[in-house]
A and B are shown apart, each in its own frame.
Chain A
Amino acid sequence: MSLDEWICYGIPEETQAEASGWIARLDGDDVSAEMRSRFSLWLDADPTNRWAYEELSLVWARVATLSDRRAQIHESKVLIFPTPDTAPVQKVSKHSWWQSAAAILLIVAGFSFAWLSPVPVIESGSTENTQADHFLFGFE
């Protein structure tokens, strides 16, 4: 069978989802006898289950044939965040309250300056533009 538009043709989406889930689980490191038994029952429950499983397995199996094309597979720049176990714990300084207070004061001062500064005289243009410029200026 080729990897073409007939793969899983006429097979319901939910059956394809179940089949791909089974392929992924059976590909895992720990596959229990109980899991294999449940899989066997599922596989024989309906022809579409078997079709979906066989045809998606074909896709999965053939990925390995691309080992000689490794350079043609796009690099994934996945940003990996540290897990909770390995995340560095940030030490909170007990004297850091004054830094927060200073930051708040600076923000308030910035707003006050912006609000109280005289509006620059602009010879032409709408009032809306003038206010927008003034507002932006206050934050420069």
Chain B
Amino acid sequence: MSKKQTDIDVRLARTVRETRTQLLAALARMLPMPEAEEVVQEAYLRLFMALQKSPEIEIRPYIFRVARNLAISRLRHQRVVHEHASAVEMAAENLQQRPNTEHEVCSEQDKQSLLAAINSLPPACRQVFVFRKIEGMSHREISERMGISVKTVENHIARGMRLCREYFIRPAAVVDHCPAGEADHVAG
């Protein structure tokens, strides 16, 4: 056995030892335990294959992301099978997805969804998002412009992200609850 192969085996064994318990516990929030165990096994197998190709990959982020994507693929698959028996083939394609946190492409659908989520934010929150992400202002510049503390700017960003996420999980029928023109007061 080559030295390279031995290194990979050692790293893999250490990763399994260090991550298996917490990975299983986290996956058990999404799937029944037998399925969580299957996902963990498949994730380690994929890690093994990835290490053969690129030994320099960061193991912990990789294994966590692979396991998460596999679990979500399963859930998607189950939902599609449950709701549209004829669409099983489409769900099977999802199972072939590989983790890809780089070079993400923002689809038109994602943009529309994000736009709707941003427009549903409370006005002050939305204004902070626009100043920071569209106009590229720093937190300090935003705080001076809006007459709020830097800490409040942070709070608006953090809250806005969680509200966007809540928007994504709501039924599609939910409409914008925060129409344009609504004003709020920001105390200085």
A28 interfacial by beta-carbon distance below 8 Å: yes
Whether B147 and A11, one on each chain, are in contact in the complex, defined by CB atoms closer than 8 angstroms, is no
Residues of B within 8 A of A79 (CB): 183-186
Interface residue ranges, B against A (CB under 8 Å):
19, 22-23, 26-27, 29-30, 60-61, 64-65, 67-69, 72, 75-76, 101, 104, 106-107, 109-111, 113-115, 117-119, 123-124, 126-127, 129-130, 132-134, 138-140, 145-147, 150, 154-155, 157-159, 161-162, 164-165, 168-169, 178-188
How distant is B74 from chain A, measured CB to nearest CB, in Å? 11
In A39-53, the 8 Å CB interface with B consists of 44, 46-48, 50-51
Chain B residue with minimal CB distance to A18?
Answer: B158
How distant is B99 from chain A, measured CB to nearest CB, in Å? 9
Whether B168 and A5, one on each chain, are in contact in the complex, defined by CB atoms closer than 8 angstroms, is yes
Residues of B within 8 A of A86 (CB): 147, 188
How distant is B53 from chain A, measured CB to nearest CB, in Å? 22
Stretch at the interface among A54-62, A109-117, A118-126: A54-62
Whether B104 and A78, one on each chain, are in contact in the complex, defined by CB atoms closer than 8 angstroms, is no
A102 interfacial by beta-carbon distance below 8 Å: no
The list of the 7 closest CB pairs from A to B, nearest first, reads: A83-B188, A74-B180, A76-B123, A20-B158, A10-B30, A24-B157, A76-B127
* Assembled-state Cα–Cα distance A85/B160 (Å): 28
Chain A residue with minimal CB distance to B127?
Answer: A76
How distant is A76 from chain B, measured CB to nearest CB, in Å? 4
* Assembled-state Cα–Cα distance A83/B153 (Å): 15
A1 interfacial by beta-carbon distance below 8 Å: yes
Q: Interface digits, A1-21 against B, CB 8 Å rule (1 contact, 0 not)? A: 111111111111000110011
Whether A81 and B147, one on each chain, are in contact in the complex, defined by CB atoms closer than 8 angstroms, is yes
Interchain CB contact (< 8 A) of B101 among A47, A54, A75: A54
How distant is A90 from chain B, measured CB to nearest CB, in Å? 16
Whether B139 and A8, one on each chain, are in contact in the complex, defined by CB atoms closer than 8 angstroms, is no
Stretch at the interface among A64-72, A92-100, A132-140: A64-72
Whether B188 and A73, one on each chain, are in contact in the complex, defined by CB atoms closer than 8 angstroms, is no
How distant is B42 from chain A, measured CB to nearest CB, in Å? 15
Q: List 12 contacting pairs A-B, 8 Å CB cutoff, sorted by A.
A: A9-B169, A17-B158, A23-B161, A47-B19, A47-B23, A56-B161, A63-B134, A67-B134, A72-B115, A74-B180, A75-B181, A86-B188
Whether B115 and A69, one on each chain, are in contact in the complex, defined by CB atoms closer than 8 angstroms, is yes
Whether A27 and B139, one on each chain, are in contact in the complex, defined by CB atoms closer than 8 angstroms, is yes
Chain B residue with minimal CB distance to A85?
Answer: B188
How distant is B92 from chain A, measured CB to nearest CB, in Å? 17
Whether B158 and A9, one on each chain, are in contact in the complex, defined by CB atoms closer than 8 angstroms, is no
How distant is A46 from chain B, measured CB to nearest CB, in Å? 6
Whether B134 and A70, one on each chain, are in contact in the complex, defined by CB atoms closer than 8 angstroms, is yes
Whether A64 and B133, one on each chain, are in contact in the complex, defined by CB atoms closer than 8 angstroms, is yes
Whether A74 and B126, one on each chain, are in contact in the complex, defined by CB atoms closer than 8 angstroms, is yes
* Assembled-state Cα–Cα distance A8/B161 (Å): 11
Whether B130 and A48, one on each chain, are in contact in the complex, defined by CB atoms closer than 8 angstroms, is no
